[in-house]
Amino acid sequence: MVAVAERIAALTVRLLGEDCVGVYLYGSAVAGGLRPDSDVDVLVVTETSLSDQVRRELIGELLRVSGRWPVRDHEHPVELTTVVRGEVVPWLHPARRDFQYGEWLRDEFEAGALPRPASDPDLAVLVTLVRQAGVLLAGRSPQDVLDPVPSQDVMRAMRDGLPELLDGLDGDERNVVLTLARMWTTAETGEILSKDAAAARVAAQLDGREREIVELARAAYTGGVVDDWTGLREPLLGFVDRARQVVAAPR
């Protein structure tokens, strides 16, 4: 088990008491193990919205225990999301998150900002991952707590996230390629695979330099190489366009 996730679970239970329905570890930590640059992904389900005091205490602790980018000494960044159970059961897309911490928001939180409730289409994917393979850290099992998400909502969430994902291509090539590979696989199979498994599946369908693009992203993700995207712009954009068409195609 990931030590920082257990620490967060214990903190959450202490702060929330009976208001904590469940705490779940998901993502890379439970799908083949943390990769060199993986986040530690945790979902918390609560009965009611977090108070400002709880938000402040959670942020204070997360700023201390979450690793920064780039990952050093195996101190992985934490991504913590909380949802109020009544906002996700019964399921209605897009659902609403109550709180989210991620390292991309560190500067805002260090300046005193508090995360607020917001509509989050990506919860369709997150809830599916937790129900599919989430590890219980505290409370009730995810299958008892969370409704299944219809596959069409998962695909809608992925399509809705495409513009923002592609806007971040420059400088985040590896993550964009791997995320597109996972979207591609989900579009074809209905399953949400780990990024490296999805990349292996998609690479097998490609040839030439586009295949090399996916294999490079996968090898860098698993720690086999340091990825350098210099001179790869044309095949990178070719793969991105092909994947976008697969994901955006109506089904």
**Greater pLDDT, 4 or 144:** 144
What digits encode the pLDDT tens for the residues 162-205?
999 999 999 999 999 999 999 999 999 999 999 999 999 999 99
Domains of the chain in sequence order: 1-147 (3.30.460.10), 152-248 (no CATH)
Mean per-residue pLDDT for 208-218?
A: 97
Confidence of residue 250 (pLDDT cuts 50, 70, 90): confident
Confidence of residue 156 (pLDDT cuts 50, 70, 90): very high
- So what's the pLDDT on residue 73? 65
Give the 3-state DSSP-derived string for 91-154, with helices as H, strands as E and coil as C.
Answer: CCCCCEECEEECHHHHHHHHCCCCCCCEECCCHHHHHHHHHHHCEEEEECCHHHHCCCCCHHHH
Q: Which two tokens stand for residue 156?
A: 């809608």
Helix, strand, or coil (residue 247): helix
What digits encode the pLDDT tens for the residues 137-151?
999 999 999 999 999
